[in-house]
Amino acid sequence: MSESPRGPRVGIKGPLLFSAFFAVITFFAVLFFASGGTNKGLRFDLAFSGAGIAFIVCLVAAAMLSMSYKENADHLGKGSGINLRSSDRSQPRSEGDGGAEGTDTHDGGPSSR
Contact 5, 12 (CB under 8 A): no
pLDDT tens readout for residues 57-78: 999 999 888 888 777 777 776 6
pLDDT of residue 24: 97
pLDDT tens readout for residues 21-34: 999 999 999 999 99
Please list, in sequence order, all residues whose beta carbon lies within 8 angstroms of the beta carbon of residue 37, skipping any fewer than 6 positions away: none
